[in-house]
């Protein structure tokens, strides 16, 4: 067996094997969830002209008590068409161009209106209720950078900046194959010794959440021939193959010999991690293959630590999100031989510190420990325990 790698060493090995996918030029309405493959620069100022921040009257700044005849109107999309004369006011709506000659907008509630004129009830300072040109985005500035995953706010900013299409990183095609004679489909009745195939659904959902296109989720029985057949079919179409179970050293663990028979080169097998020690990684002609442990929590943890970063990088995003720090809310025993990924919930304490609390029993078979988990607290191997109040590194889920 290969020597166990640290989490960082295993990640570096995955990182070195990644090639970014070819980008796609997309209509902006089709870009939600995709990763930008270019910087977006504002084509013009946003807003492109000085405009009113509310409904009111465009005026020149001055003292309270002035009587100003209302002699024009500026509406959103319909400018006044002439300058504002001194000593007069134009009715103006929110977003309308501020007329030339005006330098402020007084609210409807701050005037008395009668006989075609208004009387100001307050002093009006210059720039009152005026949005200046370029106040939001300045022409020529970079407003979104390559590597940004596009949410609704990012799409809105891109449209405001003048864009109708965006160059986005490609979508990885991912296949999930869960192995084991004991697995049955979701919702099917269980016979003695059987369990439902939760890993295939969970891993497929994690992949979709990371932006991948999951084109097949299948199972393979515990024979070498059936494992070779299932993995071979998946490898024909997938950029990334994720195999759950069958990567350890038992007599019915056929994943490693099946991958070897299919020409997949092993890059590592074994990580100094709890849960997740028997994690396997290999490549074939640019395709990435991950062999994850079959226990449900081990499967999820290793996906989050190794597969998710790979999917991000293939799309052009950062390989991994920066880790944060949090203070343990209770003592946790260390594991002597391997670093441990403890499922924790995060909450802000009254003093403002971020606190991490284990979600319950941490066995690799206890899938409910992932419920309510916001992060993985990475505890270094060692004797004794990590006491409450200790600052630890956490990786957001």
Per-chain mean pLDDT for the chain? 94
In this structure, what DSSP letter does residue 46 have?
B
The residues near 144 (Cβ < 8 Å, ≥ 6 apart) are 36, 39, 40, 154, 157, 158, 161
71-89 mean pLDDT: 97
Q: Where are the domains of the chain?
A: 7-21+171-315, 25-45+137-168, 51-131, 324-396
Q: 45 has which bridge partners?
A: none
The yes or no reply on domain 25-45+137-168 and CATH 3.80.30.20 is no
pTM: 0.90
Per-residue pLDDT band at 26 (split at 50, 70, 90): very high
Nearest to 255 by CA among 199, 198, 179: 179
CATH architecture, domain 51-131: Beta Complex (2.170)
Nearest alpha carbon to residue 89 among 68, 105, 115: 68
Whether cis (ω within 30° of 0) applies to the bond prior to 275 is yes
Q: CATH fold of 324-396, please?
A: Beta-clip (2.40.340)
Here the tokens at position 349 are 């304490």
| Rounded alpha-carbon distances, angstroms, from residue 285 to 251, 271, 289, 309 | 29, 24, 11, 20
- CATH fold match for the domains 25-45+137-168 and 51-131: no
Residue that the structure tokens 């020409």 belong to:
263
Relative orientation angle of helices 7-16 and 308-315, to the nearest 10 degrees:
30
In degrees to the nearest 10, what's the CA dihedral of 101, 106, 112, 117?
20
Q: What is the pLDDT of residues 3-23, one digit of tens each?
A: 899 999 999 999 999 999 999
For 181-210, give the DSSP string: TTEE-TTPPPPTT-EE-HHHHHHHHHHHHT
We find that the CATH architecture of domain 7-21+171-315 is 3-Layer(aba) Sandwich (3.40)
User: Is 253 a residue whose pLDDT tops 80?
Assistant: no
Q: Give 215's pLDDT tier (boundaries 50, 70, 90).
A: confident
Q: What is the pLDDT of residues 320-378, one digit of tens each?
A: 988 899 999 999 999 999 999 999 999 999 999 999 999 987 877 788 888 999 999 99
Q: What is the pLDDT of residues 51-72, one digit of tens each?
A: 999 999 999 999 999 999 999 9
């Amino acid at each position: 067996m290969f020597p166990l790698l640290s989490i960082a060493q295993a990640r570096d090995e995955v990182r070195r094997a990644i090639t970014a996918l070819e980008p796609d030029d997309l209509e902006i309405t089709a870009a939600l969830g995709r990763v930008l493959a270019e910087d977006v620069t504002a084509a013009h100022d946003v807003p492109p002209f000085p405009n009113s921040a509310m409904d009111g009257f465009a005026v020149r700044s001055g003292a309270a008590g002035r009587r100003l005849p209302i002699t024009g109107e500026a509406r959103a999309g319909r400018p006044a068409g002439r300058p504002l004369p001194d000593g007069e006011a134009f009715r103006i709506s929110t977003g309308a161009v501020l007329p030339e000659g005006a330098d402020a907008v007084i609210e409807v509630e701050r005037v008395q209106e009668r006989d075609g004129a208004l009387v100001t009830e307050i002093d009006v300072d210059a720039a009152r209720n005026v949005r200046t040109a370029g106040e939001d985005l300045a022409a020529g500035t970079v407003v979104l950078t390559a590597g940004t995953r596009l949410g609704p706010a990012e799409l809105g900013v891109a449209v405001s900046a003048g864009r109708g299409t965006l160059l986005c990183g490609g979508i990885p095609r991912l296949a999930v194959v869960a192995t084991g004679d004991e697995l049955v489909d979701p919702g099917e009745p269980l016979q003695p010794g059987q369990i439902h195939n939760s890993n295939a659904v969970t891993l497929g959902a994690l992949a979709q959440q990371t932006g991948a296109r999951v084109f097949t989720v299948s199972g393979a029985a515990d024979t070498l021939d059936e494992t070779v057949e299932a993995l071979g079919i998946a490898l024909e179409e997938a950029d990334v193959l994720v195999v759950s179970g069958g990567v350890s050293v038992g007599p019915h663990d056929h994943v490693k010999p099946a991958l070897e028979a299919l020409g997949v080169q092993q890059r590592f097998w074994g990580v100094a991690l709890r849960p997740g020690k028997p994690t396997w990684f290999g490549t074939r002609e640019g395709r990435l293959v991950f062999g994850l442990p079959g226990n449900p929590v081990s499967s999820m943890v290793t996906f989050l630590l190794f597969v998710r970063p790979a999917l991000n990088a293939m799309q052009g995003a950062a390989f991994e999100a920066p880790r944060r720090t949090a203070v343990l809310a209770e003592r946790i025993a260390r594991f002597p031989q391997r670093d441990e990924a403890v499922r924790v919930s995060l909450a802000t304490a009254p003093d403002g510190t971020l606190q991490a609390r284990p979600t319950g029993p941490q066995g690799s078979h206890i899938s409910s420990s992932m419920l309510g988990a916001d992060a993985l607290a990475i505890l270094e191997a060692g004797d004794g325990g990590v006491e409450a109040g200790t600052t630890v590194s956490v990786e957001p889920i």
